[in-house]
Amino acid sequence: FAKERLALRYGAHLRRDPLCRLHLSEGRRDPYPIYEEVRARGPLSRSTAKLWVSASHDICGQVLRDRRFGVQMRAEDQRSGSPQLSFLEMDPPEHTRLRRFVMPTFSPKAVASFDGQITEIVTGLLDAVPAEGRFDLVAGYAAPMPIAVITRLLGIPDANSAEFQRYGATFGSALGGLQSLKHARELFEAQRQLRRIFIDLCELRRTEPGDDVISRMVAAPDTQVGPDDLVPLCTLLLIAGFETTVNLIGNTVLALLERPEAWRRVAEDPSLVDAAVEETLRFDPPVQRTARVAREDVELGGLRVAAGDVIITMIGGTGRDPQVVDRPDEFDLDRSHRDHLAFSAGLHYCVGAPLAKLEATIAVRELIARFPDLTIDGPGRRRAGSLIRGLASLPVRIRRSR
């Protein structure tokens, strides 16, 4: 009886907690009203014990840019710069060393040179789509495209690419949370196999260098990247390549197809694709939140955040903050406001942002050019988990081209 009472009390408490509600089907379907409730409590408020939450654009932007907040929760990781972590989970100076190393590969100039390769991948995928009838936009298009791009960028040989893509997809799917014991076993196995693929590949690139990121890594002096850095670094790029851009493509296409007038405008004027992708990053971003830990006591929004406290920055909510955006719940191709936090801000600002935007722009542009009469054909299915927002499937119908 005592247990039951505890469960009831605990259950009621959890049902009120915005972070818990984001995980429930309510939050996965539509998290935006929950962010609004968070904002109604104030720009910064307490969630469960020791956790702060914010959906305010101003507060989240401040936290992400403020060096008094870091990403490493555990003191021992901070001391050792643990090699198990990717640099997304590291603070300076370790973070600086590794980030500096990958930056040139993803600079806007370097990324612009991938344009031809991306267009080639996209054209190949569109050629494989049936000329008429129904297909799944996610499995048939949005998912394989960024996977093919990162596979090429990492210089995975053709012979290993199917295996790499299979394990990568399993590994990436765990970002949404583990679904079962079987899933946990598959994840463990995928992790082991990917580690083996990366170690073999590093070995291969030592003797047969190519024009790819892994060849540059193994040729670099140990002071820049050491052997312990290689696997976590490759894994970070893989996850980023497998699990994020697919949702930017899916969320953009969904937002347009749900608004036939917007779809028609973009079909008639492809220069609007860029605005559609930017507006999706504000309106329905693939990464919904991140977190920072205070490294010292900080005064923020009139409140005292103690050293060691964690703040959940609700990126998905910041794009709809009425303090900075007019009519925040409207998807509007004509907005000039582009100051969103979809790629975070400050030291950890997404390294792959120029690549992700280029991929999504080409993918949406070519899709609309090829199938201007595309329509949604039945309900889509949302991904599991609430950290990454996107579709697991979106049935669409192609009518014969005009």
Binding site for ligand HEM (CB under 6 A): 87-88, 99, 150, 236-237, 240-241, 244-245, 248, 285-287, 290, 342-344, 348, 350-352, 355-356
CB 275, CB 334: distance < 8 Å: yes
Least distance between ligand HEM and beta carbon 231 (Å): 14
Q: Report H helices in 174-286.
A: 181-207, 213-219, 227-243, 245-257, 260-268, 273-283
Q: Which is nearer to ligand HEM, 44 or 398 (CB)?
A: 44
Both tokens of 163, joined, read 């295996």
Least distance between ligand HEM and beta carbon 343 (Å): 5
Q: What are phi and psi of 223, to 5 degrees?
A: -65, -25
Least distance between ligand HEM and beta carbon 266 (Å): 18
CB burial of residue 161 (10 Å; 0-12, 13-18, 19+): middle
Least distance between ligand HEM and beta carbon 315 (Å): 6
Least distance between ligand HEM and beta carbon 372 (Å): 24
Q: Which is nearer to ligand HEM, 138 or 355 (CB)?
A: 355
Alpha carbon distance, N-terminus to C-terminus of the chain: 68
Both tokens of 126, joined, read 């569109």
Least distance between ligand HEM and beta carbon 88 (Å): 4
B/e letters for 42-61, b = 16+ CB within 10 Å, e = fewer, are ebbbebeeeebbbbbbebbb
Q: Which is nearer to ligand HEM, 255 or 350 (CB)?
A: 350
Least distance between ligand HEM and beta carbon 313 (Å): 8
- Residue sitting closest to ligand HEM (CB): 352
Q: Which is nearer to ligand HEM, 367 or 398 (CB)?
A: 367
Cα separation, 27 vs 125, in Å, equals 32
Cα separation, 144 vs 146, in Å, equals 6
Q: Which is nearer to ligand HEM, 99 or 259 (CB)?
A: 99
Q: Which is nearer to ligand HEM, 225 or 351 (CB)?
A: 351
- SS3 category, 53: strand
Sheet of 310-313, strand order: 45-46, 51-54, 310-313, 290-294, 69-70
Q: Which is nearer to ligand HEM, 170 or 252 (CB)?
A: 252
